[in-house]
Copies of this chain bind each other. A is one copy, B any other.
Amino acid sequence: MPAITPSRAESFSIGELSKHVGVNIETIRYYERIKMLPAPGRSANGRRVYGPAEARILAFIRRSRDLGFTLEEIRALLALGGPERASCADVHKIASAHLTNVRSKLSDLVKLEAILAETVARCSDGAAPDCPVLDILDAGRRG
Contacts and interface: CB of A to CB of B under 8 A. Distances in A.
Contact of A119 (B91, B126, B130): B91
Contact of A110 (B92, B106, B125, B136): B106
Interface in A44-100: 56, 59-60, 63-64, 66-68, 77-78, 80-81, 85, 87-89, 91-92, 95-96, 98-99
A116 interface: yes
A117 interface: yes
Given A109-B105, A123-B88, A131 B81 contact: yes
Contacts of A140: 63
A131 B91 CA distance: 8
A130 B56 CA distance: 18
B60 A134 contact: yes
Interface residues of A, number: 50
A134 B56 contact: yes
A124 interface: yes
A25 interface: no
26 contacts: A56-B134, A60-B136, A60-B137, A63-B136, A64-B136, A66-B108, A77-B136, A87-B126, A88-B123, A88-B124, A88-B125, A88-B128, A91-B119, A92-B119, A92-B123, A92-B126, A95-B116, A96-B120, A99-B113, A99-B116, A99-B117, A103-B113, A105-B109, A106-B109, A106-B110, A109-B109
